[in-house]
Amino acid sequence: MKKVALITGAASGIGREFSRIHAKKGGNIVAVDVNAEGLMELKNELENKHGVEVYTIVKNLTELTAPQEIHNEVVRQGIEIDYLINNAGFGGVGAFHERDWAKDQAMIQVNVLALTSLTRQFLPDFVARDSGRILNVSSTVSLVPGPYQAVYFATKAYVTSFNRSIYGELSDTGVTSTALLPGATKTAFGDHSGMNKTAIYKKPASATAVASEGYKAMEKGEVEVIAGLGWNQRMELKFIPFLSSESLIKRIKKQSVAH
């Protein structure tokens, strides 16, 4: 039987690559995105190339009711979800006290509340069947403070912490929850958020490579995976716990301002 993956932010970037990977494996997809045109392009591409079914849901995850509406639609269509890939998210650059508060509220809604709500909507079904995979897209920035990107870094810290906790709760079940922690990745995300102008984005990884690492870790049921970083960057992350908060903030601040 074909596995069905529900993928948010499916029309572009890492989400699109997740969709391509899953379709190549013969799986059907429920693709969720605010970009209706992008969803139709994705649907046509994957159905024509791989002979799978792609059901599209146009939904803006900044709306509080969106996760419940997505779940209701899936139930109404009689679709059983095997993989939940919480990929949608966005960021922004600027001093916290100067940024548009409405934009940061929307960021929290998408990066934290929508991800958590969708997990809560679908997880009981997974546990009842004793099978299912969840993939939550976090970031390596979840491990450090983020001057000038305070809300974005904090939302990703929530995702990593939340995922680790859920993973522990599910240890006696056939369900797993995996966090993908990419470094800077070459997608439209960087352009839209302004983060492409920071030092972190000097050598971004490809969305294809990042999605591939995340998907494989999800299939294996791993708690988390760091993707898209070179050996030196991975080693730097290992030393983070030994740095004082003050010295760490100084280092991150240098990378968080425009270059």
| pLDDT tens profile 137-152 | 999 999 888 899 999 9
pLDDT in tens, 65-80: 999 999 999 999 999 9
Name which of 76-85, 161-170, 227-236, 238-247 the model is least confident about.
238-247
**Any idea what the Cα angle at residue 7 is, between residues 10 and 142, rounded to 5°?**
90
Q: Token digits for 48? A: 């024509």
Give the whole-angstrom CA distance, residue 93 versus residue 107: 12
Q: What is the mean pLDDT of residues 212-227?
A: 96
Domain spanning 4-256, CATH architecture: 3-Layer(aba) Sandwich (3.40)
| pLDDT at residue 250 greater than cutoff 70 | no
| pLDDT at residue 48 greater than cutoff 60 | yes
Q: Token digits for 107? A: 């960021």
Query: What pLDDT, on a 0 to 100 scale, did the predictor assign at position 193?
Result: 45
Query: What pLDDT, on a 0 to 100 scale, did the predictor assign at position 198?
Result: 47
